[in-house]
Chain A
């Protein structure tokens, strides 16, 4: 009987194959129908979901208790959102940009030391689980908006300098991509706001104060402000949205690079 990690490893391998296939699609100028890519990512998502179920049933709660589980959850929100968005043919090439990110998060999650089985964080009630799930879902939405921003920048560059490739590519118009980026960003921001509010409410109940200088809390507040500023400046960062797209990518890279580092010194999140 395969363990949840084994199922997840197979899913990550499929994401890796999808990432290699995405390079081929990119080299061919995104001209071919990408049903194969969608099918591969669907297969990976199915295995990924099964791994999450196995872990969840074993723990009898939402599996977001350590960095392995949190990374697995973020990757799952990205692939699940992609499968919904990819049902629209003209947005399906988002998968070509999402699969390298999924593979990278998956490989990171599989580092052995991340699946820490020590004392559980204080997620003993449904509200705490909801806090963690909302926050991680928001990172999934931010991740997918960064993927859409990468797609935007690729198509925008081609429209300026490789027009034939841009016209022949089965990609959506960049104005639609701008809407997708903004929509995902707004959804992520709402989820993050709800998640952080739930966290603050829990902190008040448990500790008697809304905020503390816990590194993770300070970092989360910084992320919330960064995305808030990004949304507020939307529309004022240039007509074509190139700078906005770079901002979205930059913000998510910041989240990716610092999420893990701020988790470890946080006594609340990593007891």
Chain B
């Protein structure tokens, strides 16, 4: 009894190769059926995301032979005809289990520690389970992976802190406001990052959005897309009294909001915190405003710095996570009776005709 993982990911293959191997959701179940009918696999799960395509297989034949055959199957099934180098990798038994656990925990993801992959892995497993393509080996391996992911999440910092500017801005808002629902957001300058930040804030429950831009058409387009309200650029101050969070990213060469102006505007608001997110370069908001009571200001360097620190913290946690994974994988391998000398990133012969 053994386990083979074969596939490719953002680590081994560029997007133009990954897209040739990608499977649409509707193609997964028929492919698994075809694989089992071919006599190569007793059990199989197929994971296909934008960053990876992987087959998890309990093979009929010994793992090393099965790996080459599975590679041939994958290449033929996707009808990939161009030259392939080391894009496809294989992991067997112990290292296969470790790889599955790492994928589940986001350790093999483009954004270290991200959690979306766990949902995608659960979906891939559920699909195979529902179609009857899993058995003792993959059921235990995937259940083990989900449990390890839970343990890693609760016992390490690998998933702590966001790593994008937009998400960090939301984290900052979370540290100021007692919940984001009921907060009103104003975007001044409809740029890409401000749009992402506004989306993130709305996604976390912000009540309403006002968009102001020098080009009113652009403001109206973004407001319509996000379900907000467009405001003329020379009239944004009139809406200021109700605003809790300002995201500013204009291309103005000078501060559009300085301390005297903000002091005047604050008098129009009920006393409550105000978060100013300045992602413009040159900056839109005078840094002096941070000394005002109840005013919290973050510029793009502040947010990027926090994102970088989160990433550094996550990297520092990798060793701890790997130790947990090795330990849990050893337990599973012993329970399933795999050989303990699995091969990592096995070099495979090229399939015939490629």
Contacts and interface: CB of A to CB of B under 8 A. Distances in A.
A227 B109 CA distance: 55
Contacts of A116: none
Interface in A157-210: 159-161, 163-164, 166-169, 171, 173-176, 179
A166 B175 contact: yes
Contacts of B174: 173
Interface stretch (A99-107, A125-133, A236-244): A236-244
A157 to B, nearest CB: 11
A13 B176 CA distance: 35
Given A174-B273, A239-B269, A239-B272, A160 B296 contact: yes
B294 A175 contact: no
B349 interface: no
Interface string B151-165: 000000100110000
Given A159-B176, A176-B178, A239 B171 contact: no
A161 B297 CA distance: 9
B36 to A, nearest CB: 46
Contacts of B309: 164, 168
B290 to A, nearest CB: 5
B306 interface: yes
A58 B329 CA distance: 60
A238 B273 contact: no
A265 B267 CA distance: 48
A236 B171 contact: no
Interface string B257-285: 00000000010010111100000000000
A155 interface: yes
A216 B22 CA distance: 80
B178 A240 contact: no
Contact of A179 (B157, B178, B272, B306): B178
A239 B294 contact: yes
Contacts of A171: 175
A235 interface: yes
Contacts of B178: 173, 175-176, 179
Nearest to B168: A167
Interface in A237-268: 238-243
Contacts of B124: none
B302 A243 contact: no
Contacts of B324: none
Contact of A167 (B157, B290, B295, B306): B306
Contact of A240 (B160, B273, B298, B302): B273
B293 interface: yes
A230 to B, nearest CB: 15
A160 B287 CA distance: 11
B73 interface: no
A171 B296 CA distance: 17
B172 A175 contact: no
B177 interface: yes
Q: Which of B171, B271, B291, B305 has the most CB of A within 10 A?
A: B271
A175 B273 contact: yes
A175 B174 CA distance: 10
A243 B293 contact: yes
A176 B313 CA distance: 27
Contacts of B306: 163-164, 167-168
Given A160-B290, A160-B296, A167-B306, A174 B269 contact: no
A179 B168 CA distance: 25
A236 B175 contact: no
Contact of A239 (B271, B298, B305, B313): B271
Interface string A135-156: 0000000000000000000010
30 contacts: A31-B157, A159-B175, A160-B291, A160-B297, A161-B290, A163-B298, A163-B302, A164-B306, A167-B161, A167-B171, A167-B306, A168-B160, A168-B161, A168-B306, A168-B309, A173-B175, A173-B177, A174-B273, A175-B176, A175-B178, A179-B178, A238-B271, A239-B269, A239-B271, A239-B273, A239-B274, A239-B294, A240-B293, A242-B293, A243-B293
Interface of A: 31, 155, 159-161, 163-164, 166-169, 171, 173-176, 179, 235-236, 238-243
Given A160-B296, A175-B272, 15 more contacts: A155-B175, A159-B175, A159-B296, A161-B290, A164-B306, A166-B175, A168-B306, A169-B175, A173-B175, A175-B177, A239-B294, A240-B293, A241-B293, A242-B293, A243-B293
Interface of B: 157, 160-161, 168, 171-172, 174-178, 266, 269, 271-274, 290-291, 293-298, 302, 305-306, 309-310, 313
A-B residue pairs, 7 tightest by C-beta: A240-B294, A239-B294, A239-B271, A175-B178, A238-B293, A240-B293, A176-B178
